[in-house]
A and B are shown apart, each in its own frame.
Chain A
């Protein structure tokens, strides 16, 4: 069964460093999403991406964040200068159309020290 994959599974970084989280969508999916979940809190929407551009973004998704699909397969989330409060689980989700269910990757746990 096709699945969404994410790498790395766990990333530890120093405050101020840049991190790139990677997602490989299911092959025929064209709509991509990043969500995050701070430990003990609910899942929050960050950004949606379609046709090589951002469709919608939340207040959390400020200038420190960016997304791209650099090679037609990977979908990446970059955090330019990490802060302690960026520590969270980051989930990628993809779908073939927004009216269908989204398929979630296993998540990347980001720890900022």
Chain B
């Protein structure tokens, strides 16, 4: 069964802290996506990666295909980073979503 697991489910941090969110998946994939869902519900794509590492500003995503594991890191976290971060894998022309990690960054 194609499953995506994320940890932790909830995460609180002080402004400036380094954040790591983990994602494991059970089935081989063509690509893995990291998405951000804001309190209003809108979903924004952060990264799509199939190998190695990608960086965009303070966000870094890594993936280990052999271990079926990916991580999203946020450096120098800020209250505006507060959102739900969702890992999803692109399998057979659809996205399978993890349950999300709710991040709250306090000033």
Chain A residues proximal to chain B, CB less than 8 Å: 31, 33, 35, 37, 41-45, 48, 55-56, 58, 89, 91, 93, 98-104, 106-107, 109
A106–B41 touching, CB < 8 Å: yes
Q: Is the interface of A mostly helix, strand, loop or mixed?
A: strand
Contact of A56 among B31, B35, B44, B94 (CB under 8 A): B94
Q: Bin the interface of chain B by size.
A: 20 to 34
Contact of B45 among A98, A99, A103 (CB under 8 A): A103
Cβ contacts under 8 Å, A104 to chain B = 35, 42-45
- CB nearest to B92 among chain A residues: A56
- CB nearest to A47 among chain B residues: B94
Chain B residues proximal to chain A, CB less than 8 Å: 30-31, 33, 35, 41-45, 48, 86, 88, 90, 92-100
Q: Known contacts A99-B30, A99-B31; is A45 also within 8 Å of B94 by CB?
A: yes
Contact of A55 among B33, B45, B88, B93 (CB under 8 A): B93
Within the complex, the shortest CB–CB distance from B47 to chain A, in Å, comes to 8
CA distance A41 to B86 in the complex (A): 12
Cβ contacts under 8 Å, B48 to chain A = 100-101
Contact of B41 among A44, A45, A89 (CB under 8 A): A89
Within the complex, the shortest CB–CB distance from B23 to chain A, in Å, comes to 13
A98–B42 touching, CB < 8 Å: no
